[in-house]
Structure 1
Amino acid sequence: MTPATRRRGGDLEAAIFDAVFAQLETAGYHGLTMEGVANAARTGKAALYRRWRSKDELITDALKHALPRPPTAPDTGKVREDLLTILTCTRDTLLTCRGAAFKVLKEEGEAGKGIVHDVVHERLSQPVRDLLYDALVRAAERGEIRPGAATRQIANVGPAVMVYNNLVQGGPLDDAYLESVVDEVLMPLIRP
């Protein structure tokens, strides 16, 4: 039997963040506890409390670690491709943290917005809506969509449909689904 190796630094942090996402996946935001994360990461609670004072701080750091910086705006010259690229990147980002962002938004949203919600808003939801809006504005300037379709409200539709599908219907966010959101929901809203 090999002796246990004490993990430190990045290795320990990676194990803790992985445990956070596993706990969010199985127990949800309200069911996540510092003790549960410590047990899943095979470390002590004291190691967690030395760095994070609360589960919100821990979840916030885990999300900041997992959620990449917002992507740059695609500009393929075709609105359908731009919208699909943005929604695909959004889906891939959400899957990186095992849907934790969805769960946090749903469960924390029931009790009001908090620090974790702010991180998801800042790192994911607002940048995605901005990218979609910018894609619509460029498409309107090219005459590809009707000018009145380049609105913030329409830019919100794609992500809203994705969140609804995931949280309420529990459906997959595969490529075919994303294409259906673009082709059956967004394109009819914006065509000239």
Structure 2
Amino acid sequence: MGERRRGAELEEAILDAAWLELAEHGYAGLTMEAVAERAGTSRPVLARRWDGKGPLAVAAIRQQLAKHPLVVPDRGDLRTELLELLKGTAERATGIAAAFTLLSSTYFSETWSTPKDLHAAIVQGEARPLSAILERAAKRGEIDPAKLTPPVESLLSVLFRHYVIMNFSAPPPALRKAWVDEVFLPLVKVR
């Protein structure tokens, strides 16, 4: 028999197991018992750490996001970086939506939360790559920083989230390109 896992090692194993259960069964099929069995632990161990499957599912998603951070290096071109960011975000959203099927009424009725609450819980403390991209573009003189008002700066994120919530999938490449070329860049480019 192997050595008993504790602390961070045990928590990582539990969250990995929860992620796999989400991927196979969706949120509605997620059970604390199945996660405990897959992780090789007991349900009381899970209950000491998470108050139900909602918080466990959010923690599992947060761990996956932390394992696969969204980083867009300096490409020297705002458009290229924005499209790369949206592509990476789409890949993450597809994985999360497929695994979690979170936008079901089950999750929200069980946790008494809203999509906004869920988004805040998932991205809490995560790096903001869009801000870094916009700062670099402003330093390169590609955009006018005075045009980056809060509504404009958050526009791509809002469009993306809205699409995912309304369609239960990530926006297709052509739509992401249109958002960048026809909506966002005309608002911020230096004339």
Class of the TM-score when normalised by the shorter of the 2 chains: 0.5 to 0.7
Equivalent pair of 1:34/1:48 in contact (CA under 8 Å): no
| Match in the other structure for 1:34 | 31
Q: For residues 43 and 122 of structure 2, what CA distance do their matches in structure 1 show?
A: 22
Q: For residues 168 and 183 of structure 1, what CA distance do their matches in structure 2 show?
A: 22
Greater alpha carbon shift after TM alignment, 86-95 vs 13-22: 13-22
Q: For residues 148 and 134 of structure 1, what CA distance do their matches in structure 2 show?
A: 16
Q: For residues 105 and 186 of structure 1, what CA distance do their matches in structure 2 show?
A: 31
Q: For residues 100 and 151 of structure 1, what CA distance do their matches in structure 2 show?
A: 35
| Match in the other structure for 2:122 | 120
Indicate the RMSD between aligned Cα atoms, in angstroms. Answer: 3.8
Q: For residues 188 and 156 of structure 1, what CA distance do their matches in structure 2 show?
A: 15
| Match in the other structure for 1:188 | 186
3-state DSSP class of the match of 2:124? Answer: helix
How is 1:139-150 mapped onto 2 (pairs within 5 angstroms)? Answer: 139-150=137-148
| Match in the other structure for 2:19 | 17
3-state DSSP class of the match of 2:42? Answer: helix
3-state DSSP class of the match of 1:173? Answer: coil
Q: Which amino acid aligns with 2:166?
A: V
| Match in the other structure for 1:131 | 129
TM-score using structure 1 length: 0.66
Q: Which amino acid aligns with 1:47?
A: S
Deviation at residue 169 of structure 1 after TM alignment: 3.9
TM-score using structure 2 length: 0.67
Deviation at residue 154 of structure 1 after TM alignment: 2.1
| Match in the other structure for 2:77 | 78
| Match in the other structure for 1:103 | 102
Greater alpha carbon shift after TM alignment, 57-66 vs 145-154: 145-154
Greater alpha carbon shift after TM alignment, 108-117 vs 174-183: 108-117
Q: For residues 120 and 73 of structure 2, what CA distance do their matches in structure 1 show?
A: 25
Percent identical residues: 22
Q: For residues 142 and 105 of structure 1, what CA distance do their matches in structure 2 show?
A: 43
Q: Does 1:47 align with 2:46?
A: no
Q: Which runs of 5+ in 2 are unaligned?
A: none
Deviation at residue 56 of structure 1 after TM alignment: 2.9
Q: For residues 118 and 169 of structure 1, what CA distance do their matches in structure 2 show?
A: 20
| Match in the other structure for 1:3 | none
How many residue pairs were aligned?
Answer: 173
Q: For residues 135 and 101 of structure 1, what CA distance do their matches in structure 2 show?
A: 29
Q: Which runs of 5+ in 1 are unaligned?
A: 1-7
Equivalent pair of 2:97/2:168 in contact (CA under 8 Å): no
How is 1:168-179 mapped onto 2 (pairs within 5 angstroms)? Answer: 168-170=166-168, 172-179=170-177
1:118 to 1:104, Cα distance in 2 relative to 1, 3 A: farther
Equivalent pair of 2:103/2:165 in contact (CA under 8 Å): no
